[in-house]
Amino acid sequence: MVFTSLPKLLLACALMLPLRASAQVLKLFGGDEDPDKKEFVELEVKLPPLPKPENLLPFEASAATSNQFFIDANSILIGDDGIVRYTLVVKSASGAENISYEGIRCETLEQKFYAFGRRDGAWSNVRAPVWRPIQYKDMNRQYGVLYSNYFCPDGSPVASPKEAVNRFRYGVPTGQPPRSGNRK
């Protein structure tokens, strides 16, 4: 039985080889498999002022953590590049505080750190910022919550910073349940 399907398998592989080779040639010479797809160009990042306590918007990331999570309302920016940028403040039960300026790319379900707040009141830029996939898991669940409930409810950025702030203050609008799952 194995011997009768072997010729079919070899034929299928032989037929697919030219397709694979043509895809490699397109990549080699700069061709694109989707001519309408534009190359992603990220805008230059300008760091906001560090957050003030009165501008912090709390949100629930997970019942599995005692940390408290906040977004600085004044830092939310929706760029022309499709990235939602914001300042995240995480406070531990012991009082430790971490501040980071980050971005979420709704189109690809990714998150990136740009800078971290220092004790002296300044930002420390990330040396080599990279996009990381958002995975809705126990650890770092805040990114999945920010993506689905606040910044990218339908897989694309909210219309404005005001809409994002309203989502934090008043919850997810009726008829628009949070998304779940991966978009990749």
The single-letter DSSP state of residue 98 is E
Same domain as 61, residue 24: no
Same domain as 76, residue 14: no
Distance from C-alpha of 23 to C-alpha of 16, rounded to nearest angstrom? 11
The single-letter DSSP state of residue 109 is T
- Domain tally for the chain? 2
Most confident option among 26-30, 151-155, 170-174, 180-184: 151-155
Same domain as 114, residue 57: yes
- Give the chain's end-to-end CA distance (angstroms, integer): 38
Distance from C-alpha of 32 to C-alpha of 101, rounded to nearest angstrom? 33
Compute the average pLDDT of residues 36-63: 88
* Span 96-110, pLDDT tens digits: 999 999 999 999 999
**pLDDT level of residue 33 (50, 70, 90 thresholds):** low
In angstroms, the Cα distances linking 19 to 13, 31, 60, 103, 118 are 10, 14, 48, 37, 52
Instruction: Give the CB-side neighbour count of residue 26, counting CA atoms within 13 A.
Output: 11
Same domain as 90, residue 12: no
Distance from C-alpha of 68 to C-alpha of 80, rounded to nearest angstrom? 30
Q: What is the pLDDT of residue 110?
A: 96
In a domain, 81, yes or no: yes
Same domain as 116, residue 84: yes
List the domain range (segments joined by +) for residue 2.
1-31
In sequence order, what are the residues at sequence separation of 6 or more whose Cβ sits closer than 8 angstroms to the Cβ of residue 99?
Answer: 50, 51, 87, 88, 89, 116, 117
CATH code for the domain in which residue 74 is found? 2.40.128
